[in-house]
Structure 1
Amino acid sequence: MSIEIKAPTFPESVADGTVATWHKQPGEACAADELIVDIETDKVVLEVVAPADGVIKEILKGEGDTVLSEEVLAVFEAGAAASAAPAQAAAPAASADVATDAEKIGPAARKLIDEHNLDASQIPGTGKNGGITKEDVQNFINNRGAAPAAAPAAAAKPAAVAAPLNIPAGQRIEKRVPMTRLRATIAKRLVEAQQNAAMLTTYNEVNMKPVMDLRSKYKDLFEKTHNGTRLGFMSFFVKAATEALKRFPAVNASIDGNDMVYHGYQDIGVAVSTDRGLMVPVLRDTDSMSLADVEATIADFGKRGRDGKLGMEDMQGGTFTITNGGVFGSLMSTPILNPPQTAILGMHKIQERPMAVNGQVVILPMMYLALSYDHRMIDGKEAVQFLVAIKDLLEDPARLLLDV
C-alpha cells in the first residue's frame, strides 16, 4: 500500500521549511516511527517518521528543497521489503554498477554530481551498501581540485589527514557551505535587534560566594530530595530575575509598534547552545516555579536541544532572556536583545579576584553581569536599579525566601 509522506503542519508564524537531511533512501528498509527526514524551519528542526514498516518508494523533495506545510515529500510503500543487499555483495566485480545505481545516490548528491558533470563511478561511497552521500561528492570535488594526481593516495588514508572540514592538511582549500535556515534566521534577528532598538548595556559584578556556599551545603540533599535534579547556579539567577522583574515592570515589557506592552507574568527564556545554533526555550510562570522546577526544566531543555527535540511551542513567547556565556569561559560580553523583549541578562565566568571588604583585601569569586536593554522603553535609572536588585538578591539569597 502506497502512503504519501508529508511535511508537518507548520504554525501560522512559519511560512515554509527546508528539507535538511534524508536519513533513509529509496529501497531502504524503514521501521514504523523510525526517523526518515529532517525539515528545518526558521525556529526548529522538525522530524518526520515512517508511518509503518516498509520502504521509501520515491523521494519527491531532495535535500535543500523548500516545502510548504503538509506538502508531499515522498511516496512510502508500507509492508514492502528492502532491496536485496546479498545480491550486491555477491558481485564484488560490479562495484562500479553499485556506485552508479540511482538508488544508491541521494537526491542532494545527485544534484551536486550533475552540477559539476562528475562521473559517479569515480566517487567512493561511504553510505549504506556503498551509497554515495552529498559529503562524498563534496570531498571528491575538493580533493580533485586540490591534487588530482594524488587522489588515490588521499583516498587511501582520508582519516589521517582530514581536518574538521575534510580539508587535506597542508593545502589551502576553501569550503563554501550554505547557511542553514535556522542560522540565517538567527543572524537576521540579531541584526534587526541592533538596527531597530536603542540598545544600551550596563554592567555590575556580583559576589557569588553566598550562593556557592549555599549550593555546596545543600547540593547533595537537594539532589536526593528532588529525584536526582542537581542544584546549579541558573535557578538562583532565574528566581532573582523573576523578583527583579516584578519590581521593575518596564524590564518585563515589550514594544509592539508604538505600543508598550506590560506583562503581568514572568516567562524567562534561557539561551541554549546547540549544533544547529542558539535556541531560547522559555520557562513559563517562573514566579510559581521552585528552584528544583527551574533546574529540572533547564536540564530537559538542554538535553532536547542537543537531540534536536525542542519544539516551536518551547520557544514561543518569553518576556525576558538570560544567557550564560560563562560556561564557555567568557569573562565579559554584551548580549544582544531578543526582540520584541526589551532586556536580556548576560551571565559570565566566575573568577576569583582581590576585592576590598571593610578595608581589607579579600579573594572572592566574582562574576560580571551585563544587562542590555532598549532605551526606548527603559531609562538608565531603571536598568541600573534592576541589575543592582539582582546583585543584592544573589549576594543575600535569604531575600529570595523573605521577598525583601
Structure 2
Amino acid sequence: MTSEVRVPTLGESVTEATVATWFKKPGDTVAVDEMLCELETDKVTVEVPSPVAGTLSEIVAAEGETVGVDALLANVSEGDSAAAPAAAPAAAAPAAEAAAVDVMVPTLGESVTEATVSTWFKKVGDTVAQDEMLCELETDKVSVEVPSPAAGTLTAIVAEEGATVDASAKLAVISSGEGAVAAPAAASPAAAAPAAAAGGKDVENAPSAKKAMAEAGLSSDQVTGSGRDGRVMKEDVAAAIAAGTSAAAPAPAAAAAPRAPSSADDASREERVKMTRLRQTIAKRLKDSQNTAAMLTTYNEVDMTEVMALRNEYKDLFLKKHGVKLGFMSFFTKACVHALREVPEVNAEIDGTDIVYKNFVHMGIAAGTPTGLVVPVIRDADSMSFADIEKAIGEKGARARDGKLSMAEMQGGTFTISNGGVYGSLMSSPILNPPQSGILGMHKIQDRPMAINGQVVIRPMMYLALSYDHRIVDGKGAVTFLVRVKEALEDPRRLLMDL
C-alpha cells in the first residue's frame, strides 16, 4: 500500500514553499513521524514527517523546487521492513513479550522548530499507562505535555531535563508487554551517539540562506545556524547582518561570561536561574518593538461611574441569561472597536513600504501567567456581543493560565488591550505588540475629587494610555482614538447608538 506525502498547511497567508533538503532518499526505510524533508517559506521553515512506517519509494518534488499547499512531495510504501529499526532496541527480548516504542517530540506548531525539556513526570523503570503524561516541553510560545504512546515501562530517557530538542527528536523509549525491562545505561549512550555523529558531519545550509550570505558578503562561519543540525537559515543571516558581523564574532564569548558578584558574601546569597524560552522570546520581541517602531504614548482619564452603574444594575440578570459574569473588559473591547472604526490606522500595520488596513478587529487581550505574559487573540471581536466577548476572554484566560494555548490562538491580532490595573498599576506606558500599531493600557480604578459642573465630587477614575507607532499613526489620530474610547465608556449609550 502506498501513502502520499503532501505539503502541509504553511500558515496564514503563505501559499507556497521551496523544498530545501531531503533527509531521506528513495529506498530508505522510514518510521512513522520520522522527518523526510524540510520546506522553506519566506517566513518559516517546516519539517515534513512521514505519515506511515515503510520505505520511501519515490521523491516527486526535488530539492530547490517550489511547491504549493497540498502538493505531492513523495510516496511511501508501507511494509513490515520499516518496523525493524524501531524494534531493534528490543531485539534481545522475545517480540511477543515486549516491544520498544519510541516517544517522539509531538507537533510543536507552525514556525516552532525546537523545544526545551522542562520536567519529567516519570523516571526510568516506572510503569506508565497509555496517554499518561511523561514529560513537559517548553517552547518560546507554549508548553506542551507529552503523553505515553503505549502502556508499559519507561526503559530509557534520551533527552534529560534542560535538553534542547528539535521537532523530530526522540525523547524516551517505552517497552510495552510483559517482558519490558528498564535498561537506561544501554539505551542512553546508544541514543546519544547518532546526535554526536550528526554534529560532526557537513550540514547543507538553506538555499535562501546561501543567497543572502552571498549578497551580504558573509561566510557560513560568521553566522550561527538555528536549523536542524546547525543548518543556517535565512533568518539567521538577517540576524547576523542586523547585529553587525564584525562585532558578532566576539559577542558570544563576552555574553557567556557570568557577571562577577561584588563579594564572596554576595555570591553565597545569589541564585542564578536560566531564563525560560518564553521569557527569552518576550524579551527579544519587546526589544525588537522598541528598536523598530517610532513608539509614543498619549494619556487620558475616564470617569467609570456610568459603566460601573450599568454593570451593577444588570450583572445578575446577565449572569443568569448568559452563564458568564459581566466584567469591564467587554466594555473596553466594545469601546476600542468603536474607536478603531473612526481611526483605522490604529488597527493597521506596516509591511515594507505598504500600510495594511484591517477591515476586522482581532483583539489581543494580554494575560499574565506563571511563566510570563501571553496575548491570546479574540478573532472578529467587532462582530461579537458583550456575552460572546466575556465568554471568549474567560476561556482564553483560563487556557493561558493552564499553559494550554496553541500558537494559532496567539497569532493574527490587530490591536491589544493590557490591564495593569489588576495588579494595582495607576499609570504606565504599554509597549507595542509588533506588528500592531496600537495598544491600550488600562489601569486601577481610584476614587478622586473631580470638578463636575462647578462642584467638587468624588468619582471612580481610571487613567488610560495608548501607545502607538508614530510611523503610521499621527498624534491627532491617537488622541482622537483615546477620546472616543473615553466618550463611549463615560456614556455607554453611544455604543448602542453608534455615535
1:25 deviation in Å?
1.3
Cα-to-partner distance string for 1:288-326 (whole Å, 9 max, x where unaligned): 111111111111122112211111111011000000000
| CA distance, structure 2, for counterparts of residue 255 and residue 314 of structure 1 | 22
1:366 deviation in Å?
0.3
| CA distance, structure 1, for counterparts of residue 333 and residue 180 of structure 2 | 51
Q: Does 1:180 align with 2:276?
A: yes
Could you tell me whether the CA contact under 8 Å between 1:54 and 1:81 is conserved in 2?
no
Residue of structure 2 in register with 1:66 after alignment: 164
Q: Does 1:276 align with 2:371?
A: yes
| CA distance, structure 1, for counterparts of residue 181 and residue 269 of structure 2 | 38
Residue of structure 1 in register with 2:339 after alignment: 244
The amino acid that maps onto 2:456 is V
Alignment partner of 1:345 out of 440, 456, 459:
440
Q: Does 1:28 align with 2:123?
A: no
Residue of structure 1 in register with 2:466 after alignment: 371
Q: Does 1:202 align with 2:294?
A: no
The amino acid that maps onto 1:58 is A
After TM superposition, the structure 1 stretch with the greater mean CA deviation from structure 2, 257-266 or 274-283, is 257-266
1:82 deviation in Å?
9.0
1:5-404 equivalent positions in 2, closer than 5 A: 5-79=103-177, 172-227=268-323, 229-404=324-499
The amino acid that maps onto 2:170 is V
Cα-to-partner distance string for 1:180-231 (whole Å, 9 max, x where unaligned): 111000001111111111100000000001000000000011001012x000
Evaluate the alpha carbon distance shift between residue 76 and residue 366 of structure 1 in structure 2; reply closer, same or farther with a 3 A threshold.
Answer: same
Matched positions, count: 323
List structure 1 runs of 4+ shifted beyond 3 angstroms: 79-84
Cα-to-partner distance string for 1:18-60 (whole Å, 9 max, x where unaligned): 1111111111122222221111111111111112322221111
Cα-to-partner distance string for 1:364-390 (whole Å, 9 max, x where unaligned): 000000000000010000000000000
After TM superposition, the structure 1 stretch with the greater mean CA deviation from structure 2, 381-390 or 41-50, is 41-50
| CA distance, structure 2, for counterparts of residue 198 and residue 345 of structure 1 | 16
1:102 deviation in Å?
7.6
Cα-to-partner distance string for 1:138-182 (whole Å, 9 max, x where unaligned): xxxxxxxxxxxxxxxxxxxxxxxxxxxxxxxx9951111100111
5+ long unaligned stretches in structure 1: 85-100, 107-169
1:80 deviation in Å?
5.4
Residue of structure 1 in register with 2:21 after alignment: none
The amino acid that maps onto 1:355 is M
| CA distance, structure 2, for counterparts of residue 81 and residue 367 of structure 1 | 67
Q: What is the DSSP-based 3-state SS (H/G/I as helix, E as strand, rest coil) of the residue aligned with 1:376? A: coil
The amino acid that maps onto 2:103 is I
Evaluate the alpha carbon distance shift between residue 9 and residue 301 of structure 1 in structure 2; reply closer, same or farther with a 3 A threshold.
Answer: same
The amino acid that maps onto 1:222 is F
Could you tell me whether the CA contact under 8 Å between 2:141 and 2:278 is conserved in 1?
yes
Evaluate the alpha carbon distance shift between residue 171 and residue 338 of structure 1 in structure 2; reply closer, same or farther with a 3 A threshold.
Answer: closer
The amino acid that maps onto 1:319 is T
The amino acid that maps onto 2:102 is E
| CA distance, structure 1, for counterparts of residue 390 and residue 177 of structure 2 | 44
Could you tell me whether the CA contact under 8 Å between 1:55 and 1:81 is conserved in 2?
no
Evaluate the alpha carbon distance shift between residue 77 and residue 366 of structure 1 in structure 2; reply closer, same or farther with a 3 A threshold.
Answer: same
1:330 deviation in Å?
0.3
> What RMSD in Å do the two structures reach over aligned CA positions?
2.2
Could you tell me whether the CA contact under 8 Å between 2:362 and 2:414 is conserved in 1?
yes
Larger relative contact order (C-alpha < 8 A, sep ≥ 6)? Answer: 1
| CA distance, structure 2, for counterparts of residue 102 and residue 48 of structure 1 | 19
Residue of structure 1 in register with 2:254 after alignment: none
Cα-to-partner distance string for 1:85-137 (whole Å, 9 max, x where unaligned): xxxxxxxxxxxxxxxx989xx9xxxxxxxxxxxxxxxxxxxxxxxxxxxxxxx
| CA distance, structure 1, for counterparts of residue 106 and residue 431 of structure 2 | 32
| CA distance, structure 2, for counterparts of residue 353 and residue 75 of structure 1 | 63
The amino acid that maps onto 2:327 is G
| CA distance, structure 1, for counterparts of residue 441 and residue 421 of structure 2 | 9
The amino acid that maps onto 2:114 is D
Evaluate the alpha carbon distance shift between residue 331 and residue 73 of structure 1 in structure 2; reply closer, same or farther with a 3 A threshold.
Answer: same
Evaluate the alpha carbon distance shift between residue 80 and residue 55 of structure 1 in structure 2; reply closer, same or farther with a 3 A threshold.
Answer: farther
After TM superposition, the structure 1 stretch with the greater mean CA deviation from structure 2, 298-307 or 366-375, is 298-307
1:9 deviation in Å?
1.8
Evaluate the alpha carbon distance shift between residue 102 and residue 57 of structure 1 in structure 2; reply closer, same or farther with a 3 A threshold.
Answer: closer
Could you tell me whether the CA contact under 8 Å between 1:320 and 1:342 is conserved in 2?
yes
The amino acid that maps onto 2:322 is H
